[in-house]
Amino acid sequence: MRSLALKEIERIGTTGKVEPTFIDAAVEFFRTYADMFHHGKEEGILFKELSSKGMSEADHSMMVELANEHALARRTVNGLESLKGKYVAGTVETKNDIFEVMNTLVELYSKHIQKEETQFFFPSMKYFSEKEQEEMLDAFFEFDKNFTDRRYRKAIETLKETLNNSTAPR
């Protein structure tokens, strides 16, 4: 998703035009995959289980920071959708705001994912026994069964198609 978003940001910067279909697909991706699927597992399973553990102050602060970033991402995605609506309604000036919000999302998620992977996820496993880790993994798999990746794959295909169509010579 990051590379597709960067291509769209570059395209907006070059052409000065926003592709509403791309924004719709990006919002769908962020809401479905990033928030419902990824953040859903973290908040509903991992963070919930960690909350019952005697976490260090630093680890607890990191968990709260990550949850706050999830909330910030939700607000930012909602803002992107709102800006797209204004753009489509004829407020062309919002293209600069859309450009900025897209950059914000790319930066936010890049830093957030790195933080989760390098500073939180594996270090947080020290709070769980091997049996608890296996039970949590089972809970993740059960969660995954309830999530269909068709919408996610469809969103990615729509994003790619939109980029290809908007950069094709006319």
pLDDT for the residue 161? 78
Neighbour count for residue 154 (Cβ, 10 Å): 15
pLDDT tens digit sequence for 135-148:
999 998 888 876 66
Tell me the C-alpha distance between 25 and 22, whole Å.
5
pLDDT tens digit sequence for 12-59:
889 988 999 999 989 988 988 888 888 989 999 999 999 999 999 999
Q: Which tokens hold the place of 75?
A: 């607000």
pLDDT for the residue 170? 42
What's this model's pTM, rounded to 2 decimal places? 0.81
CA torsion through residues 52, 54, 60, 63, sign: negative
Mean pLDDT for the chain?
A: 88
Residue whose C-alpha is closest to residue 112's, from 51, 45, 39: 39
All residues at 6 or more sequence positions from 137 whose CB lies less than 8 Å from its CB, including other chains: none
